Structure 1
């Protein structure tokens, strides 16, 4: 559809123009008698013809300009007079407007309308400098139009139509045609801009990072769990996997942006997937080392551009749940509350009650005497003093009120006389005389010894039904029956006895009226309560919470804190405190249970604080070793779960569906170096893709992981015995198949350190047996020797000593040989597990040296296997593995002083890439070329244009290449085992060739 918007400024109406032309013709008639006057119809015909041709010229010029601008898009303006005409934020649209102006101006030169001697021409001002070019740009506007905005609308303002008669200008008209052309230049430019934006979006927006994350997670978890299960996986996430995930993600973003992806890229991805699978079989070999025969025999299927979704439940995903229990924390708290002095204090508090004296004093008669008589009228009183004495003179009967919540233990009454003697001193001159008077007051004093079952115990203060019934205790003990005599002794005996206590009441000298008294405890009480706590320990151990595996690895959840909340919720049920105690022993049982539960809650609190501290340390390690953070890692985990649309619907234009086609060079952005002999668009030697892949907690445990667990180890030059033992086991397995003097030497040095650590631990074990049983030292050594006999190699014994199996067997053997009771065996077991010896940590240097030597031998043997170029040989070697799978890696969560419930590892990946040429074409070309396509291509070349028609071109800008930088983090969490999960190839940071510069 074409419309013409006439500019009516200063315009003369056709009727008036006709009149003027007629008048001027008549005026000039004497001069031009032989020529007929022009008619109004001739002018209109000429103008109509010129207007129609102008519309065609504008349409043709805009279409041509759109194709040319798309073929050579200006993304960044040049720093030239011509380039500065373009606005930096709208460089492509400005360049399109300039091209449209110049193309239309060129075509207008051929526009002519003629009728008789009247001619009409069309024109735009010529461009001779930058100022003219800026004015020209302002005359043209472009925008997307049509259904789904697949076409382009353009308006060229103020085209001048000049009317001439016999060469003389008689009038002008200005028109501003608007045309809509089926050209997708603007659509393609916007789509490519959107594509590049999505490639550079962070993890919080849809794009490359999110799709790359979605592809890496299932790959990393599948390989991580395969490694954990013992498969020959050297590097869980290698750069070859990063390259594969990146290219798959790039195709996915293409599909979601353009509706289609590069078919050559899809084919290349399929081939790369097959090659990566072969490389994974041989654990890290270079693709060039794999023979073409092996590749041809590979059985692979085409890959999808969307993130793969695991069909098997064999390997968990980050969103799967894992169950974490209190487990060994119950033992840690149990040790603290059942240690003899601690348990004794708890039970003593339960048998401790409050006692007090309640008294009633009633005067029966008598009282203080009056003033003694004066010796005479001349005597003056100079002193007056009264002395008293009290004496219990007999028993009495009486009562005293008992306060609420208290009960009477003993009551007695006495009659007490208080003797008064009042002496007056009189003076007459220098003579003094005394006069005396005496009297007696009689009192009835009742004293009650009362008590209540309050004390220091954590058990609630509730009544004890049989508190003072000695026969009612379940342990045949005294219950609280001995509290009464003890209270009498503490309060009454301390005051001098019953008579003196009554006397003290009268003379107000009774000092201590309150005290606490601890009753005798049955001999069986300790073991009875211990057995009860053992029964309680099991449900506490089995208290669990369910958390997502991925969120455990990103420290988004705090399992110890969640466990604490769960135990706190169950505290009342687990304590099982009755409304009324049947006996004091039952109160002691409740006190021990509550003390134990409080200890569990306190220990879980401590572990939660440690995890918070570890979270900060992990974040610091990520920042120090990568460009990542836990916050970004959590974004990646969320992005993995975000459902990204597979594709964009195909837009429908005026002539039907507008299908795009993507054509890239290189279609697969490889980490290898390429040159123009492979792809013409390349500029010399280039790296289309570069990657940096950092594994934070690498083998062996003793670098970043030690920095996280912090105060668990003194110094950074030591590793856990379990770590050293696994490295030693890997060396032994490797030396069984291959000889290596270097490895043997490193192995021997590490073995000596492991043996020394084993000896230190063995000594602490038999000392614990000797100290906590009746066994002599010789018998204790024999028990430990027998218990450790199944583990006859240093590595195996070290692992048994560190994973608890050795301690379990020592407790079992000691129990059998010493006839230990169930309680005694349990106490010994817990004591054995509490052994902590700083001297049992081998050096990091020996552990690292052995691990490096194992890897070196394995790689040498791999090279030999590949040199034979046989798939069967490669497969046999992959199964043999030479012990490298036993090397430990990862961050334990969270030993050594808390239960180890998982091992985590983190990979932070950064990729940078650049297409040498990125082209997108749409299915509608100009109307005169059926089936033609509009192609938008960016290849980094300069864009030039002859704007002033002087025969030389001026530089407008550059068609910047499509480039990107994206990063993501992946966390893998596996169950607790010494081998853990992580890259075991010996390189914590894998940087591809050319890093960090991609492209030219």
Structure 2
């Protein structure tokens, strides 16, 4: 349809009325006011003609208003009299209603119906102020209509038709025409509003954040694992990757909202993808074979509006499982339970039994005497006293019941006599007299010494079939054969002997009837149990669980807790408690096994608690250093797998498919600064897209990671020897490729500190060898010197000392040279692995200084390669092996005091963007206007309109630009190696130029 200017006065040919009436609907609400018409036929004929022209005027005015409102949409009302007529929440619809009113009112001025001397005119009240404008707005209603709501229905209320005869008013009629026009103004406004909503949706709703997350994850994991594998990748996630992911996600949201995306944007994305791949090749590969693999994994080649999925299996996916084992926790618990005092206590408890005296006293005859006789009738009893003495007079035979779960060790009986003497004191006046009488009671006393194998041992109470068989122990020991004499000595001998015990039973003076005694243990018991525990340790060490990699990094799962559950499930199998013990030694073995398993469970409990504490610390670091949270990070992990909405199907309108076309400026929102010389829609110099990319756990060392692990990872002004060693290795590698005086000086200083730490560590090792073996100091030094010979450089030696390789080799060399038994060698190995002193930690300042120098050299070389801008130069640089890849980064899960099962890192990304102009066009083809289209465009300009016909435009509002802000987090988890994963360029936060102000 050809746009009609507001001041057009041409009349619509009546020849079109028939066609137009066929495709329009008209609702008339007539109200008659006035005098009777002299000729109804003439009036009605004129009215019908006027109503037909009114219908055409309304239709034409609404169509024109729709196109004009779409071309200049009011998104935010202005603070002007005219702007305040618009509601904030319905600004566009209100501006459309006002435009429709004014356009229809203008066209109604040309409506005229005539029949003879009768004329009919149509009009709407004029607008002269804001109050009139508000009333005008309320006279018009608009809504989406037609098939798939691609058209627009509008009703204009109370159009006044005035009937005149010879110029005199004879009647008026009010009508409210309703028309349906094929204008997509409302449809496009709703779609663009939906688009902007989706751009600003958080991770819990479909939109830009989710799609950007889905694009960043495969790039971050591919690059993170490539870096972990040794590729010279300085930044795992750089802002160039963020820009690429954001623009791809923007096109994806366009396609899901409008059915198609900006073709210029797709072409620009293809070019940006290629350029990003080239830049990544220059900035961080170690050869063309690797770089091709990385580009493939990072999905640089395919340009798609749907989030990519990794095609290569070279690097894991966040949903893939990783295996976490008990590993070194088995050794930690083992050391605690096999310390000489601890293991001796466990074995002693297993050989300790409870013993007790069970007694039976039976009176054979006699008893206490009666009251002595009175001296006479006048005497009064003042008081009396009975004394007694007991004496075992001969052996006897008897029995006593043994309590359940106890067994009898020894039984003896005695006949015991108790002699009574009863004395009475009598008084008669002032005279007192004493009389006495005597008697004897005889008792049979039976005493049983009983025992049971309960004691204090953690081993379950079971019968021991050969408990007191001295020849039945697998170690040629005495089992519990010596418990009986020890029990007799403790309970009977210490009470004075058998006769004395029997006598004390009679006079109720036997105070001690229970005790514990410990049997003698075979000399080989300790080593025998130790070897058994070594076998158990191997089984426990190999206990594993599978956990999802991404969930480990977001702290949604607790591997130590899962391991504890698994060990608890295997506890019965691992303990191997028999129904009946074959010997006391077997009970001791079970006791040691259970003690060890309890120690493992306790250690895993502590690690699970530490994991929970670390989760809170990570959350704190995340909130302090970024605007993210663990909760949002978890949403992002879930969002990357959320099904992407399908593209909106092409809707079909009254005249066929309604196809949309997106046209944006700039089609690719770049992080670079642009001006109007590139795109006319720009307002001076602008940054279409700005980004902030924060890597939480990066160098310098001891920063965020130290705050999480509470000093176990890095402590004070010192770093772990492994951290310093990797930094030193990075410096050595860089100096092999590029000579640099500053780096050499920093490297030399760090090398001196690492060498000193190595000497301290090796001294501690040979002292441990001397202490825990029979080797003299010279021999111990020779053992350590031989063991350390494979590692020649300070960096290599330090790494061997920190990863346990050196300690394992020292134990092997010592075992061979000193002819150590298997048990002795294992004890020595555990002692050596536990060595760690503050003196073995180099300073943080020297470590960071060397790392900074390494990065500086690498960046200078990079700048030179980029300046050359040639493929050959880029390839040459890619083949150089600079040492930045060796610099450690990331958060160890967990720190070295417990098994280190993974290293994680977090990137929190925020982008803000703005289209200088965002336009969407919809084609439609009604019978009278084939090929017409409606264009909805937002460019931030003011929207004005002459609402009172005074020749001056009033400001209604602004056609706000389409803008957005999106946040997301990415976590990458790699296996435990000192180099870890993370950005190693020295800047934890990468802000793009223009941050945080996108657009004009």
CA contact (8 A) 1:758 1:794 kept: yes
After TM superposition, the structure 1 = structure 2 runs for residues 265-664 of structure 1, keeping only pairs within 5 Å, are 265-283=265-283, 301=301, 303-664=303-664
Residue of structure 2 equivalent to 1:4: 26
SS at match of 1:99: helix
C-alpha separation in 2, matches of 1:302 and 1:817: 61
Q: What TM-score does the superposition give when structure 2 sets the normalisation length? A: 0.95
Residue of structure 2 equivalent to 1:212: 212
After TM superposition, the structure 1 = structure 2 runs for residues 887-906 of structure 1, keeping only pairs within 5 Å, are 887-906=887-906
Matched, 1:21 2:43: no
Residue of structure 2 equivalent to 1:27: none
> Any unmatched runs of 5+ in structure 1?
23-38, 286-294
C-alpha displacement at 1:430, in angstroms? 4.8
C-alpha separation in 2, matches of 1:735 and 1:310: 36
C-alpha separation in 1, matches of 2:137 and 2:37: 36
SS at match of 1:135: helix
CA contact (8 A) 1:706 1:716 kept: no
Bigger drift between 48-57 and 830-839 goes to 830-839
C-alpha displacement at 1:5, in angstroms? 2.0
C-alpha separation in 1, matches of 2:467 and 2:654: 98
C-alpha separation in 2, matches of 1:98 and 1:531: 93
C-alpha displacement at 1:882, in angstroms? 1.3
Q: Deviations over 1:630-676 (max 9, x none)?
A: 11100100100101124111111111111100000000000000000
Bigger drift between 926-935 and 43-52 goes to 926-935
Distance 1:918 1:183, change over 3 A: same
Residue of structure 2 equivalent to 1:238: 238
C-alpha displacement at 1:2, in angstroms? 2.2
Residue of structure 2 equivalent to 1:72: 72
C-alpha displacement at 1:427, in angstroms? 4.0
C-alpha separation in 2, matches of 1:382 and 1:41: 152
Q: Deviations over 1:140-176 (max 9, x none)?
A: 0000001111000000001111111111111111110
CA contact (8 A) 1:70 1:185 kept: yes
CA contact (8 A) 1:700 1:888 kept: no
SS at match of 2:466: coil
CA contact (8 A) 2:86 2:95 kept: yes
After TM superposition, the structure 1 = structure 2 runs for residues 65-214 of structure 1, keeping only pairs within 5 Å, are 65-214=65-214
C-alpha displacement at 1:86, in angstroms? 0.6
SS at match of 1:808: helix
Residue of structure 1 equivalent to 2:696: 696
CA contact (8 A) 2:164 2:171 kept: yes
SS at match of 1:827: helix
Bigger drift between 876-885 and 741-750 goes to 876-885
CA contact (8 A) 1:563 1:604 kept: yes
Q: Deviations over 1:751-790 (max 9, x none)?
A: 1111121112112111111111111111111111111111
> Any unmatched runs of 5+ in structure 2?
1-22, 286-294
Matched, 1:988 2:976: no
Residue of structure 2 equivalent to 1:932: 932
C-alpha displacement at 1:378, in angstroms? 4.2
C-alpha displacement at 1:509, in angstroms? 0.6
C-alpha separation in 1, matches of 2:696 and 2:783: 43
CA contact (8 A) 2:232 2:882 kept: no
Q: Deviations over 1:844-874 (max 9, x none)?
A: 1111110010111112223333444442232
CA contact (8 A) 2:25 2:180 kept: no
C-alpha separation in 2, matches of 1:97 and 1:869: 57
Residue of structure 1 equivalent to 2:4: none
CA contact (8 A) 1:701 1:890 kept: no
SS at match of 1:470: coil
C-alpha separation in 1, matches of 2:915 and 2:452: 87
C-alpha displacement at 1:960, in angstroms? 0.4
Residue of structure 2 equivalent to 1:826: 826
C-alpha displacement at 1:481, in angstroms? 1.0
Matched, 1:970 2:970: yes
CA contact (8 A) 2:666 2:915 kept: yes
Distance 1:511 1:591, change over 3 A: same
C-alpha displacement at 1:354, in angstroms? 0.9
After TM superposition, the structure 1 = structure 2 runs for residues 243-258 of structure 1, keeping only pairs within 5 Å, are 243-258=243-258
CA contact (8 A) 2:284 2:878 kept: no
After TM superposition, the structure 1 = structure 2 runs for residues 682-721 of structure 1, keeping only pairs within 5 Å, are 682-712=682-712, 715-721=715-721
C-alpha displacement at 1:716, in angstroms? 3.4
The count of corresponding residues between Structure 1 and Structure 2 is: 966
CA contact (8 A) 1:392 1:414 kept: yes
C-alpha separation in 1, matches of 2:217 and 2:851: 28
Q: Deviations over 1:528-574 (max 9, x none)?
A: 11111111111211111111101100011100001111111111111
SS at match of 2:609: helix
C-alpha displacement at 1:475, in angstroms? 1.2
Q: Tell me how large the CA RMSD over aligned residues is.
A: 1.6
C-alpha displacement at 1:425, in angstroms? 3.1
C-alpha displacement at 1:7, in angstroms? 2.0
CA contact (8 A) 2:714 2:720 kept: no
C-alpha separation in 2, matches of 1:131 and 1:920: 34
CA contact (8 A) 1:232 1:879 kept: no
Bigger drift between 684-693 and 917-926 goes to 917-926
CA contact (8 A) 2:686 2:998 kept: yes
CA contact (8 A) 1:703 1:716 kept: no
CA contact (8 A) 2:466 2:582 kept: yes
Residue of structure 1 equivalent to 2:732: 732
Residue of structure 2 equivalent to 1:999: 999
C-alpha separation in 1, matches of 2:180 and 2:637: 46
C-alpha displacement at 1:6, in angstroms? 2.1
C-alpha displacement at 1:749, in angstroms? 1.2
CA contact (8 A) 2:671 2:687 kept: yes
CA contact (8 A) 2:746 2:853 kept: yes
Q: Deviations over 1:251-273 (max 9, x none)?
A: 00000000000000000000000
C-alpha displacement at 1:886, in angstroms? 0.8
C-alpha separation in 2, matches of 1:160 and 1:428: 146
Structure 1 residue ranges (4+ consecutive) displaced by more than 6 angstroms after TM superposition:
none
Distance 1:5 1:254, change over 3 A: same
C-alpha displacement at 1:717, in angstroms? 1.9
Residue of structure 2 equivalent to 1:290: none
C-alpha separation in 2, matches of 1:986 and 1:403: 76
CA contact (8 A) 2:705 2:713 kept: no
CA contact (8 A) 1:858 1:881 kept: no
Q: What TM-score does the superposition give when structure 1 sets the normalisation length? A: 0.95
Q: Deviations over 1:227-281 (max 9, x none)?
A: 1111121110000000000000000000000000000000000000000001101
CA contact (8 A) 2:97 2:140 kept: yes
Q: Deviations over 1:577-630 (max 9, x none)?
A: 111111111111111111111111100000001111111111111111110111
CA contact (8 A) 1:681 1:916 kept: yes
CA contact (8 A) 1:359 1:400 kept: yes
C-alpha separation in 2, matches of 1:8 and 1:48: 12
SS at match of 1:905: strand
